[in-house]
A = this chain, B = another copy of it.
Amino acid sequence: MDVYQQVKNVKIMDHFWIKYKKIVEEEVIPYQWKALNDELPDAEPSHAIENFRIAAGESTGEYYGTVFQDSDVAKWLETVSYCLRNNPNPELEQKADELIALLARAQADDGYLNTYYMLKEPQNRWTNLRDNHELYCAGHFIEAAVAYFEATGKTLFLNIVEKLVNLIDQTFGREPEKLKGYPGHEEIELALIKLFDVTQNQRYLKLAQYFIEQRGVEPIYFEEERIRRKHIDTAMTWNSDENMNFGLGYEYQQAHKPVREQTEAVGHAVRAMYLYIAMADLAAKTKDHTLKETCERLWEDVTTKKMYITGGIGSAANGEAFTSAYDLPNDSMYCETCASVGLAFWANRMLRLEANRSYADVLERTIYNGTISGMDLTGKRFFYVNPLEINRHQSDRKDQEHIKDERQKWFFCACCPPNLARMIASIEDHIYTYSGESIFTHLYIASEMKTKLKDKPIQIKQQHQYPWQGTIDMIIDVPNPTSFKLGLRIPGWCKNWKLFINQKPYESERLVNGYIIVDRTWQAGDRILLELAMPVEKVRSNPLVAKNQSQIALQRGPIVYCIEEVDNGPNLAALRIPKDSIIETTWEKDVLNGVVTLRTNGYKLQPTKDLYTTTESQKTPQPIKAIPYYAWCNRIKGEMRVWIYEG
């Protein structure tokens, strides 16, 4: 079993992602900092940093926030770490250092660190793993600490989390004196494997393995814990006993059966993603085939039965959860930003198990569509829920109140904005993997990478106007002629491509799992030109998807399009794109920060006098204009549709 490494030294030069990274650095991080410090006049207070001050004995007052408020601090530190990798910023680093020092002062002597329990129920540590996110928050601290160490070389944060992990390791495990628990919201598992990566401490890997493998083992720990909880004085949680886990059973936490027996993605979509990431990571570390196969099976289930064309997942608001195969309603789903971010991260992990474009295609689908749709183009407003349809009734339907037709400022439950921010800040980590004598290019993002294959230094520079243009220019830099295989992904959406090496057509051999493998001795200055034909495609759903019948989505390259009321008038459902229509593309540099828009000559069905009639509606010609889905709701609020009726 081959395992691939992530190329870590990559600097983004990409016009598309640079804009987003700049927004994260200049808008989101400062805005979040203010939020964490309760300095935003017109947003809900966060209290996240104040909670740590109180825990450290440096302030007074009560705990405030969700039970996972600490994780907002962790995600901010993680995002800051990624920004510091390529852009030194002493002022920001100092803020981070001071915050980390506060965490150190707040940490209990035995290593415990969770402000909710420290301030509200100090006697009740580890009594409600099902609902109360202690291990989840610990996981985010670990991820942040690893990122901060990698970015700065500083070890204080790493020390804090290692002390915390030691306590967790003493508390949980199969030994008789330990609790046989595991988190109600997965996260620490993947974080522990990251911690193992930087420390090579096998205990962290073993602890991750324990958490993953104990999950779903009968008797279900959450059930035992629930009964024990009857004898202690503890606060009510969000999870009501009358409708535990939103009626979804332990599927909600993916704890209904041992992980290797799981064949379908179930329950809370973000939880599921974080578990599957950790399973893929563990499979890579342990070379465990059965775990790898489980990941492949779950991947197949999610991406061929339960994923929106935008990379959104979670078809139901109840439990923010997966439902059944092909149940993909466009106006009542959840499609949480965090869940798509999780799917991108999972795809990245699957690429470390196998260089296969089925993973990279989904990675690309999520990062260009259903993740960044969660943020407006200024980085100031956010969606939790990313619908594929806003119709004129949306705001009248109480059963769809979770679907907003305008992005909001800061959330009380502020999981999505920082999650998206850390994805953008680390987008470079998704481009390349390598193994032995091979380097694979999974994403076309203009950048400069440096790595070594068997101690031989290799640099690759990508230059292009992706995702708007399909001409990819790559330059290899090696000090001496160097033999290695370069895998170039031919995206699943691309039907015609041409490859030139030093201006000579490269004999296109068969694709290996969707990649052209160029095996040669590379010289400094070797130039690769990959031309990916990028026409507008009319995409159809599997007819098993009841809600997308007779409808098409427009896609060009990796970008999924939508139509908005501001361009097309109201009642978008009554628009028709003829089967033989030609879709024209226009680069509009002043629209939505610069996008390729689509235009076609369509029709609109005219309203009839009667509600039901045997005569066909009159069709009047109407131009139809589509914009990238990720950029919807950046102008005037109104209707929106991804799936458009054909005919």
Contact = CB atoms under 8 A, between A and B. Distances in A.
Interface of A: 246-248, 303-305, 307, 309, 316-319, 323-324, 326-327, 332, 391-393, 396-399, 495, 537-547, 549-550, 553, 571, 573-574, 604-617, 645, 647
A571 B542 contact: no
Contacts of A323: 393, 396-397
A398 B542 contact: no
A360 B622 CA distance: 38
A571 B543 contact: yes
Contacts of A607: 542-544
A610 B546 CA distance: 15
B606 A303 contact: no
B540 A613 contact: yes
Contacts of A398: 246-248, 316, 318-319
A378 to B, nearest CB: 31
Contacts of A615: 540
11 contacts: A248-B398, A318-B397, A323-B396, A539-B612, A540-B614, A540-B616, A542-B613, A543-B607, A543-B608, A544-B574, A544-B607
Contacts of A547: 573
A614 B396 contact: no
B316 A540 contact: no
Contacts of A396: 323-324, 327
A318 B397 CA distance: 8
Contacts of A397: 316, 318, 323, 327
Contacts of A247: 398
B324 A392 contact: yes
Nearest to A618: B543
Contacts of A550: 549-550, 645, 647
Contacts of A248: 398
A604 B543 CA distance: 9
B543 A606 contact: yes
Contacts of A608: 540, 542-543
Contacts of A616: 540
A351 B541 CA distance: 48
A473 to B, nearest CB: 27
Contact of A573 (B546, B571, B617): B546
Contacts of A612: 309, 539-542, 553
Contacts of A610: 304, 542
B571 A617 contact: no
Contact of A614 (B246, B317, B537, B549): B537
Contact of A316 (B303, B326, B392, B399): B399
Among the interface residues A248, A309, A391, A537, which one has the most CB atoms of the partner chain B within 10 A?
Answer: A391
A297 to B, nearest CB: 16
Contacts of A391: 546
Contact of A318 (B399, B540, B645): B399
A537 B391 CA distance: 29
B645 A549 contact: yes
Given A247-B398, A318-B398, A617-B540, A545 B393 contact: no
Nearest to A641: B546
Among the interface residues A327, A332, A537, A542, which one has the most CB atoms of the partner chain B within 10 A?
Answer: A542
